[in-house]
């Protein structure tokens, strides 16, 4: 029977002032998770504060075990 484990990461991003740094950090998260056998299932974003352009990126993962 296959068991499935779920997990998620929350990435906090502030505005678009340092987009390259943010993209690099997100890429690192994805590479580390993939190396550990996790599969990215979906992503979602939420704007937390419109005045400061503060938003969150949610990365939802799953890992299957035999």
Collect all residues with Cβ–Cβ distance below 8 Å to 24 and sequence separation of at least 6.
none
Give the model's confidence band at 38: pLDDT under 50 very low, under 70 low, under 90 confident, else very high. very high
| pTM recorded for the entire structure | 0.81
What pLDDT is attached to residue 12?
84
Range of the structural domain that residue 19 is part of = 3-65
Give the model's confidence band at 62: pLDDT under 50 very low, under 70 low, under 90 confident, else very high. very high
E-strand ranges in the chain read: 3-14, 39-49, 54-65
pLDDT of 60 higher than 80: yes
Q: How far apart are CA 6 and CA 48, in angstroms?
A: 24
Nearest of 44, 51, 58 to residue 10 by alpha carbon? 58
Number of domains within the chain: 1
Instruction: Name the 3-class secondary structure at 50.
Output: coil
Give the model's confidence band at 4: pLDDT under 50 very low, under 70 low, under 90 confident, else very high. very high
Q: What is the mean pLDDT of residues 27-50?
A: 93
């Amino acid at each position: 029977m296959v068991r499935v484990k779920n997990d998620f990461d929350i990435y906090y991003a502030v505005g678009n002032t340092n987009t390259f740094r943010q993209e690099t950090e997100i890429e690192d998260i994805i590479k580390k998770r993939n190396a550990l056998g996790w599969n990215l299932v979906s992503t979602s974003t939420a704007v937390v504060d419109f005045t400061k352009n503060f938003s969150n990126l949610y990365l939802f993962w799953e890992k299957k075990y035999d």
